[in-house]
Structure 1
Amino acid sequence: MPLQMTPEELQTFIAQVFPQIKDDFVIEELEEMRIKVRLKVRDDHLRPGGTVSGPSMFGLADVSVYFAIMAMVGPKALAVTTSSSLDFMRKPVANADLIAECRLLKLGKVLAVGDVLMFSDGDDQPVARASMTYSIPQR
């Protein structure tokens, strides 16, 4: 299945349906069943000690899978997370953006499963790994 949306179309779509997060995430790479997304880390993403908080890391994983699905099926704002698992593997680098590398493992008619590795910008060791399942509205 070819891509249904470009990075620019995805960013415009997100600005329309989720304006509260439009400035947090940047799509850095997009190809079929894969996406790379940057969380532009700000003070409100940090926990004491200056590292990115768990909720912010979950948000990055969740948004990455959502973006990957939208890129493949087109704008379906009502796709929702039905299951998630997040493993924290090491402490993120303080005051660094986080980068998510997401791949869709399954893209069916009603369910999608994605796997996400998250890295501190400039570090090649993953800080977290997430698995997400989404329910997709009828196409």
Structure 2
Amino acid sequence: MTIPSPAEIQAIMRSGVPLAGEWEVEVLAAEGGVALLRLPAKPNLLRPGNTISGPALMGLADVAMWAALLSTTNGRDDSVTSTMTVNFLRPAGSGPVLAQARIVKRGKRMLFGEILIRPEGSDDLSVHITTTWAVIAPQRGR
């Protein structure tokens, strides 16, 4: 199995989730079920208080988990997000931020993951996310 490069995963991600391209999300690393993504500072992602909005952070987390998954499936995947539990621990600031995603457990039908989001250049965790993804079975005859 060929492991796609971070640039290839970024292209897949931006094609599948065009909003990731609009936000200029970068895949810095992705291999073996772990991915590191960067969301640059963007004024249109800020909420009052000059910090990145919750929806932007949740979107980053979701595509980070997908990048981690793509790193284990030769860049092909038919899984979908089933649940996401988000714990906002402290403001992430005005950006940029890093999201590190990892697959915790992968079964035949479900995948469990964890995402940690921090301001770039800081060890202070801003957001802790756990997620479950459902593996979509291919339709018969396809």
TM-score, normalised to structure 2, is: 0.86
For residues 7-29 of structure 1, the C-alpha deviation after alignment (integer angstroms, 9 at most, x for no partner) is 12112212332233224211112
Q: 1:41, 1:3 → 2: CA distance? A: 33
Bigger-Rg structure (1/2):
2
Cα 1:127–1:4 shift into 2, 3 Å: same
Closer/same/farther in 2, CA of residues 92 and 128 from structure 1, 3 Å limit: same
1:49 aligned partner, one-letter code = G
CA distance in 1, matches of 2:30, 2:76: 15
Dislocated runs of 4+, deviation >6 Å: none
Contact 1:3 1:31 in 2 (8 A): no
Ranges in structure 1 where 5+ consecutive residues have no aligned partner: none
Task: Name the CA shift for 1:20/1:59 in 2 (closer, same or farther; >3 Å).
Answer: closer
Q: Deviations over 1:22-79 (max 9, x none)?
A: 2421111222121111112312211012101111111111111111111212322x42
RMSD: 1.8
Q: Conserved in 2, the CA contact under 8 Å of 1:3 and 1:72? A: no
CA contact under 8 A between 1:40 and 1:98: conserved in structure 2?
Answer: yes
Contact 2:35 2:100 in 1 (8 A): yes
Instruction: Map residues 48-127 of structure 1 onto 2, 5 A cutoff.
Output: 48-73=48-73, 74-76=75-77, 78-93=78-93, 95-127=94-126
Structure 2: runs of 5 or more not aligned: none
Count of matched residue pairs: 136
Question: Following TM superposition, by how much is the alpha carbon of 1:132 offset from its aligned partner in structure 2, in angstroms?
Answer: 0.7
